[in-house]
Amino acid sequence: MSEFLQQLVNGITVGSIYALIALGYTMVYGILMFINFAHGEIYMAGAFIGWYLMTQLGLPFLIATPLTVIAVALLGVVIEKIAYRPLRHASRLGPLITAIGVSIFLQNLAAAIFGTDPRPFPLPSFLERNIYEVGGVILDSLQIWIFFLSILIMIGLDLYVNHTRMGKAMRATKINKQVAPLMGINLDTVISLVFAIGSGIAALGGIMVGLYYNSVSPTMGFMPGLVAFTAAVLGGIGNIRGAMIGGMLIGILENLGAGYISSGFKQGIAFFVLIALLLFRQEGIMGKVEREKV
E strands of the chain, at which residues? 131-134, 137-140
DSSP string, 172-236: HHHH-TTTGGGGT--HHHHHHHHHHHHHHHHHHHHHHHHHHHT-B-GGGGHHHHHHHHHHHHHH-
User: Which residues of this protein are in contact with other proteins, per CB under 8 A?
Assistant: 34-35, 82-83, 86-87, 90, 92-94, 96-98, 100-109, 111-112, 116, 229, 271, 274-275, 278-279, 282, 291-292, 294
Q: What are the beta bridge partners of residue 131?
A: 140
Smaller CB separation from other proteins, 109 or 144: 109
DSSP secondary structure letter of residue 285: T
Smaller CB separation from other proteins, 156 or 268: 268
Smaller CB separation from other proteins, 126 or 280: 280
The residue type found at 62 is L
Smaller CB separation from other proteins, 154 or 231: 231
Find the shortest distance in angstroms from Cβ 284 to other proteins: 12
Find the shortest distance in angstroms from Cβ 156 to other proteins: 29
Smaller CB separation from other proteins, 147 or 229: 229
Find the shortest distance in angstroms from Cβ 195 to other proteins: 16
Find the shortest distance in angstroms from Cβ 13 to other proteins: 26
Find the shortest distance in angstroms from Cβ 293 to other proteins: 9
Q: Are 162 and 240 in contact (CB under 8 A)?
A: no
Q: What does the alpha-carbon distance between residue 198 and residue 160 come to, in Å, rounded to a whole number?
A: 13
